[in-house]
Amino acid sequence: MNNQRIAVIFGLPKFYSMKKIITSLLFTIAAFSLSAQKDSSNNLGGMFKKASSLFSKKSGNSSLSNDQIIAGLKEALSIGAQKSGEKLSATDGFYKDAVVKILLPEQVRNVENKMRMLGFGKQIDNAELSLNRAAEDASKQAAPIFLDAIKKMTVTDALNILRGSDTAATAYLRKTTTPDLTTAFRPIIEKSLEKTNANKYWKDVFGTYNKFSRNPVDTDINSYVTGKALNGLFYYVAQEEVGIRKNPAQRVTDILKTVFGSK
C-alpha cells in the first residue's frame, strides 16, 4: 500500500510521507489515551466519593467511641428491662393489660364454653387469673437475669444494634438470652403457679374434663406460662427501646442523649 492510499484512508493530505502519517497517528492515539485516563479518573473519583458518603451515613457519628456506644446501649436495655419488670410484676400487671394478658391456651379455649355449661365457669376464671398472677410474681425476678445478659454485649453487637431497627437491641436480647432465661425463669414460674394454686385449679378442671373427652388437655401449664411471661417482658423492653430511640424526652441520662442523639 503506497503513501497516498494510506493518507486517503486516514483523511490526511495525499502529499504526506509515511513518517508524517505515523507521527500523526501516534499523536492521535496519545490524545485518545489521555482523554480516556481523564474520564476514568473522574469516574473512579466519583465512585470513591459516593462510597465514602454512603459509609459515612451508615457509620453515624464517628466521634462516638466504642465504649460510649456500648455504654449507651446497655443503659437503654437496662432501663427497658427494669421498667418492664416493674410494670408487669405489679398486681394486675399482666391480668388487666389487654396486650400481654395470658389467656387460656388455644386448645382450652376451644372447650371453654362446654366447660362453663357444665358448671366450671368459676374454676376457669380462677385458672386464668392464677396464670397471670404467676407471671406477675415471676416478673419480679426478671430484671437481674436480663442485666446479667446485657453485660456480655460485644463491640460488634453494639455497632450492629445502633445502626439497626427501632427494636434491634430487644431482638438481640431475645435471641441471645431466651434459652438461659427460660431455664432460669421456669422454676420461678412453677413456684409461683404453686403459690397461686394455678396448678390445682388447672388440674381440678381439666383432670375432670379429660375423663370424658377424646381429646385430652395437657394439664402441665408451666412451659406455656413461662413462654407467655417472657413474651410480655420482651414486649415492654421493646417499647422502652423505641421510646429512647425516637423520643428525646425518654433519654434520661447523658450517655443516652449522646449515643441516641447522634444517630
Asked if residue 87 has pLDDT above 90, the reply is yes
Mean pLDDT of 29-45: 44
Q: Residue 205: how many CA atoms within 13 Å on its side-chain side? A: 30
Convert the pLDDT of each residue in 126-182 to its tens digit.
888 988 998 998 888 778 888 888 888 888 888 888 888 999 989 988 988 788 778
Give the mean model confidence (pLDDT) for residues 198-202: 75
The reported pLDDT for the residue numbered 99 is: 96
| 3-class secondary structure, 213 | coil
Write down the domain spans for the chain. 3-56, 61-261
In this structure, what C-alpha cell is assigned to residue 56? 459515612
Quote the pTM value.
0.67
* DSSP string across 50-70: HHHHHHHHHH--TTS-HHHHH
Average pLDDT of the segment spanning 189-206:
78
Number of Cβ within 10 Å of residue 200's Cβ equals 15
pLDDT higher at 106 or 130? 130
pLDDT at 81 over 60: yes
CB neighbours of 20 closer than 8 A, spacing ≥ 6? 12
Report pLDDT for 16. 46
Q: Which of 124, 97, 75 is nearest to 229 (CA)?
A: 97
Burial class (CB in 10 A: 0-12, 13-18, 19+), 182: middle
Chain-centroid distance of CA 157 in Å reads 11
> Do 159 and 67 contact (CB within 8 A), yes or no?
no
Alpha carbon 56 to chain centroid, angstroms: 23
Task: Indicate if the pLDDT at residue 48 is higher than 70.
Answer: no
Give the contacts of 184 (CB within 8 A, at least 6 positions apart).
145
Q: Does the structure show a pLDDT above 90 at 239?
A: yes
Chain centroid to Cα 219, Å, comes to 34
73 grid coordinates: 446501649
The DSSP letter of residue 167 is: T
